[in-house]
Structure 1
């Protein structure tokens, strides 16, 4: 009996031990499974976060891009509205508050990030910006340029750089930001593009509006109701008599050099003296250069043909391998013939009047050669006058004297007036 009771107790203890072991194993398994889930979730969050960071860096992630992509208007204007700015600031503030574990960037890195923006802002000052063109009245003959309300007539200067086909308008008392939001409108058929830049040459506030034109134009302006109206006209619409004077060489192209003198300097000095005389007449004269610049041959030709001038006269200085040769000669284009008055007639009158004025020697007329590109390419009466030879010491001395240059200028002007008198 006692033995049976002992066996029964042992059996119950064994069963209890098994049940306890099973319960313990179940608890351990349960805890292990819950922890595995937690670790998996954290790992997945880290992976997702890494993928987002990579997608932002590499431009991937269509969903992320679509959310932050600007609409068409903001792309065109490059601006963020005040409401959007406040919203972005609120989002950033909320992120900083909720992410308590986020580390602040080191101060040095923050300064490094801000520095390029500051430098970029300084570089932007004084830079060019394209003018905004808008549609205007289709039947308008004027280009309309808006002006600040305080702008007066004396604050505006208009300059015509016809060699560059550019009209430049200086507007005082205004910042370039004014033309970032105000539109140029009206008749823009003659304008290829427009640029606004700070007028750094002026001591006071102001901008320079530069308009690239399709051809050589003259202009008329009207100031009315805080708008400047500009109309473009062909030279022939404004002037009855038009002449193009072309001092040869310029810049790094010195031309013939002998006896301490250069062709580029002498031709320019003579052209300036011609200008002094013709400024007092009713003849409109275009000059290819009035300084030590060197316009390309194509530009010189373009000016003559674009203005449809009555005549083109090039001022040159000659040189010869024979130092005993001296005198004046003229060059003409034999391929371009106009009945009545053409290049040959212009060359003849030009040589005659210059030689008479300087009481010098005529070497005769010569046909344009291959190197005489301008004379051969211009489609109006054109001639070049070589006013003397630098290789002749006696003539070189005369060419360097101002009073002799004055006489040459007189001869050129006399030739021009003689042409108009014959008409």
Structure 2
């Protein structure tokens, strides 16, 4: 009988502690839910602090001391101690900031301290020369959009500037939403570049910029340079059904070619690639700044797909290649119909 009483007592204690534990757990959960935003933000801060030194290390660069000589000769001349291979030189245009960036891989030992750099202040607002690990980075902020040619001579790098329209017959701007930028960053552009070369066309590609950009910045740039066309392209996943929607500035019209013509071609190209069940073409409202504020032929097309992002490399690759194929087909149709090749 004693043993049974002991067991009952232990059982009652176990039940009591179980109830207490459940109550405490609920209280903790309620407290967490009430302060969830705080805990989330605190976690983000800690992650940012942990990552900050790594990010700073990966992009660390140092000013290189150079002397500037101003000459009105429409070029920048950077002296080098030895000739560089063209394979080691890349050029990037952050065009919404009118910035041209030249990176010379492994060239840190090719530029001496105090070197005399020739510039033209009629074209350039500012110039910066930096060392980033073993590379040399040359940044040029221009007063306007220019055409340029880069040449490597025996002991110098020369960037020659020319009026944009004297170098190109056609100027085009492509906008891709920031969320879709990575889709196009590493894609093969040979076919698109080949078409552009055949028609003497300059293509400003937003996804090649490292800086962030907005619709307003891109449309302002397109208006400023009087681009012949402004194209936008994007993908929206998880839609109700596959469809293509194209927006244009229908109110803007020039003889033979305008926003409506551009929208028709872009929609046809998207449908060739994606074969959507539903197609819509409409005038852009004020919320679509890129198209609504354009004073050049402009259109933006979206592919809405019910397929949600899976994260599978082969699926993403296929989607990204289709975007490039659609862009290439758009340019083929527009240029062959409304423009003349060189």
Q: 2:334 maps to which residue?
A: 419
Aligned pair in 2 of structure 1 residues 409, 186: CA closer, same or farther (>3 Å)? Answer: closer
Q: 2:7 maps to which residue?
A: none
Equivalent residue of 2:68, what SS? Answer: coil
Contact 2:94/2:211 (CA < 8 Å) preserved in 1? no
Q: Does 1:309 align with 2:224?
A: no
Q: 1:195 maps to which residue?
A: 128
Matches of 2:64 and 2:272, distance apart in 1: 54
Work out which of the residue numbers 186, 203, 224 in structure 2 matches 1:285: 203
Q: Does 1:343 align with 2:272?
A: no
Q: Does 1:248 align with 2:181?
A: no
After TM superposition, give the deviation of residue 143 of structure 1 in Å.
Answer: 2.9
Q: Which runs of 5+ in 1 are unaligned?
A: 1-124, 251-263
Aligned pair in 2 of structure 1 residues 144, 289: CA closer, same or farther (>3 Å)? Answer: same
Q: 1:141 maps to which residue?
A: 74
Contact 1:245/1:288 (CA < 8 Å) preserved in 2? yes
Work out which of the residue numbers 110, 113, 116 in structure 2 matches 1:178: 113
After TM superposition, give the deviation of residue 297 of structure 1 in Å.
Answer: 2.6
Matches of 2:301 and 2:185, distance apart in 1: 12
Q: Does 1:154 align with 2:52?
A: no
Contact 1:272/1:290 (CA < 8 Å) preserved in 2? no
Matches of 1:215 and 1:297, distance apart in 2: 19
Aligned pair in 2 of structure 1 residues 223, 411: CA closer, same or farther (>3 Å)? Answer: closer
Aligned pair in 2 of structure 1 residues 157, 384: CA closer, same or farther (>3 Å)? Answer: same
Matches of 1:408 and 1:158, distance apart in 2: 24
Aligned pair in 2 of structure 1 residues 130, 210: CA closer, same or farther (>3 Å)? Answer: farther
Matches of 2:185 and 2:90, distance apart in 1: 24
Deviations 1:56-109 (A, max 9, x none): xxxxxxxxxxxxxxxxxxxxxxxxxxxxxxxxxxxxxxxxxxxxxxxxxxxxxx
Work out which of the residue numbers 237, 243, 263 in structure 2 matches 1:327: 243
After TM superposition, give the deviation of residue 279 of structure 1 in Å.
Answer: 2.9
Matches of 1:275 and 1:309, distance apart in 2: 21
Q: 2:41 maps to which residue?
A: none
Deviations 1:288-346 (A, max 9, x none): 014896422333224434554332211123479xx645410100113422221111110
Q: 2:285 maps to which residue?
A: 369
Paired residues, number: 269
Q: Write out aligned runs for 1:32-43 (5 A).
A: none
Equivalent residue of 2:189, what SS? Answer: helix
After TM superposition, give the deviation of residue 208 of structure 1 in Å.
Answer: 2.6
Equivalent residue of 1:183, what SS? Answer: strand
After TM superposition, give the deviation of residue 197 of structure 1 in Å.
Answer: 2.0
After TM superposition, give the deviation of residue 366 of structure 1 in Å.
Answer: 1.4
Q: TM-score normalised to the size of structure 1?
A: 0.54
Matches of 1:129 and 1:337, distance apart in 2: 50
Aligned pair in 2 of structure 1 residues 360, 395: CA closer, same or farther (>3 Å)? Answer: farther
Work out which of the residue numbers 299, 308, 324 in structure 2 matches 1:383: 299
Q: Which runs of 5+ in 2 are unaligned?
A: 1-59
Q: Write out aligned runs for 1:35-184 (5 A).
A: 127-128=62-63, 131-136=66-71, 138=72, 140-147=73-80, 150-154=81-85, 157=89, 159-163=91-95, 164-170=97-103, 172-174=107-109, 178-179=113-114, 182-184=115-117
What is the root-mean-square deviation of aligned Cα atoms in Å?
Answer: 3.6
After TM superposition, give the deviation of residue 198 of structure 1 in Å.
Answer: 1.9
Deviations 1:9-39 (A, max 9, x none): xxxxxxxxxxxxxxxxxxxxxxxxxxxxxxx
Give the structure with higher Rg (CA): 1
Q: TM-score normalised to the size of structure 2?
A: 0.65
Equivalent residue of 2:203, what SS? Answer: strand
Equivalent residue of 2:69, what SS? Answer: coil
